[in-house]
Amino acid sequence: MAKEARKKLPQFTSPRGSFVYPKLSEPDYGSKEYPKPEGEYSLKLRMSQEDAETWLGRKNKEGTTLQAAYDAAMAEAEEAFDKLGVATRKKLGEVSKNDLYTVVYDEETEEPTGDVEFKFSMKASGEFKNGPRDSRQAILRGHRGRGPAGPRGFAGGGAATTAGSQPRQPG
């Protein structure tokens, strides 16, 4: 049986935003209550809702938008869900949808601040199905995309951009 080629995910670069709780220098292994045995690099990117809406509609090098990629992923998830057995579909109910971003609310007034947050994460390690253990490291680059930004830690509030693949939707 021939191996099926892995689908290449579209690449996107975000507009400038602020990192919130970045965990990029070292993997986060969670806590006793919520362990992450494989470790995780993650951050939230905060930007204005206007910038986020513009980004969702902006085409990348391949000519696709982030919103179109999300819609295609949801359609793929619906197809995969429909192929599940009846008992499994009944148990799950429907495909769970993750919003592309979350709206930020003021803690005192509980009104929207006009900002939104995108969450990005990547496992630090894992195992291949038929092979050795895999280990990853977050690639840190300067604000112009050239050269490493260095091994220093990041603090929240710094302005930066992110680049990477579209997140996969659970099926």
CATH no. for residue 40?
Answer: 2.40.50
CB of 169 closer than 8 Å to CB of 80? no
Range of the domain at 53: 12-165
Q: What is the per-residue pLDDT for 169? A: 44
Collect all residues with Cβ–Cβ distance below 8 Å to 32 and sequence separation of at least 6.
none
Question: Which helix (H) or strand (E) segment is 20 a member of?
Answer: strand 17-30
171 within some domain:
no
Highest mean pLDDT (candidates 39-43, 131-135, 143-147): 39-43
Mean pLDDT of 142-148: 56
- pLDDT of residue 166 exceeding 50, the answer is no
Token pair for residue 96? 């769970």
Compute the chain's Rg from CA coordinates.
18
pTM of the model: 0.73
156 within some domain:
yes
Q: Partners of 65 in the beta sheet?
A: 59
102 within some domain:
yes
